[in-house]
């Protein structure tokens, strides 16, 4: 029998920790979950978690990103409104049906007094989103799906900003809000 592969064992532990973090935040709320509780649920020691992550916020952030990543892809069917609708409704569904929303709310709340955590959110959530959005919007400009002078950075701020706004204020967040947002930003109110 070959010796156990340590990288495989590590991968197994990491996955168990991230799953435990997301599940516990969903069950108890971010503030009521400790690193100890995550370790216990994952069947490892607290020191294993601190070997890989600097804080509870960092673990929960990675767990949240892992569930967000498959949803925030930027499809390209040739129609930017259709593509954005699919992605944004995917985010709304993720919030409605998983612990992602609870985890993200907890991380952003903790980030208001933890600049390192807020910086990690920027680097791991916002920056990749800016990159993907900007690339998709560049194609959309080439093809006339949006105006050549359309302000892509502000459009991105608006779309994800409103989702976070409604999430943090516990306001309803449904596909109809995405439709309204896309109509407003694409057609304007004037």
Q: Per rule CB under 8 A, is residue 85 in the interface with a second copy?
A: no
Q: Per rule CB under 8 A, is residue 120 in the interface with a second copy?
A: no
Closest CA to 128 of 77, 83, 68: 68
Q: Per rule CB under 8 A, is residue 158 in the interface with a second copy?
A: yes
Q: Per rule CB under 8 A, is residue 133 in the interface with a second copy?
A: no
50's CB contacts (< 8 A; 6+ apart) are 35
Q: Per rule CB under 8 A, is residue 170 in the interface with a second copy?
A: yes
Give the residue carrying structure tokens 């400009």: 141
Minimal distance, residue 177 CB to a second copy, in Å: 8
Q: Per rule CB under 8 A, is residue 175 in the interface with a second copy?
A: no
Q: Per rule CB under 8 A, is residue 188 in the interface with a second copy?
A: yes
Minimal distance, residue 87 CB to a second copy, in Å: 16
- DSSP H/E element including 37: helix 35-42
Minimal distance, residue 174 CB to a second copy, in Å: 13
134's CB contacts (< 8 A; 6+ apart) are 152, 153, 156
| 134-153 footprint of a second copy as x/- string (CB under 8 A) | -----------xxx--xx-x
190 and 184 Cβ atoms separated by less than 8 Å: no
46's CB contacts (< 8 A; 6+ apart) are 35, 36, 39
How far is the C-alpha of 147 from the C-alpha of 134, rounded, in Å? Answer: 14
Binding residues for a second copy, rule: CB under 8 A, are: 29-31, 105-106, 108-113, 115, 118, 121-122, 126, 145-147, 150-151, 153-155, 157-158, 160-162, 164-166, 168-171, 177, 180-181, 183-190
């Amino acid at each position: 029998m070959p010796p156990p592969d340590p990288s495989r064992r590590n991968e197994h532990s990491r996955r168990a920790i991230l799953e435990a973090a997301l599940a516990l935040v969903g069950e108890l709320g971010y503030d009521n979950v400790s690193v100890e509780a995550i370790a216990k649920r994952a069947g490892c020691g607290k020191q294993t978690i601190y070997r890989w992550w600097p804080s509870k916020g960092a673990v929960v952030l990675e767990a949240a990103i892992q569930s967000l990543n498959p949803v925030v892809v930027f499809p390209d069917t040739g129609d930017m409104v259709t593509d954005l609708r699919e992605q944004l409704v995917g985010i709304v569904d993720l919030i409605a049906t998983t612990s992602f929303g609870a985890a993200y709310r907890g991380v952003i709340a903790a980030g208001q007094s933890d600049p390192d955590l807020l910086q990690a959110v920027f680097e791991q959530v916002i920056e990749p989103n800016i990159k993907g959005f900007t690339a998709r919007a560049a194609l959309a400009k080439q093809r006339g799906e949006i105006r050549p002078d359309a302000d892509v950075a502000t459009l991105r701020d608006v779309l994800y900003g409103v989702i976070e706004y409604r999430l943090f204020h516990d306001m309803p967040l449904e596909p109809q809000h995405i439709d309204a947002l896309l109509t407003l930003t694409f057609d304007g109110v004037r």
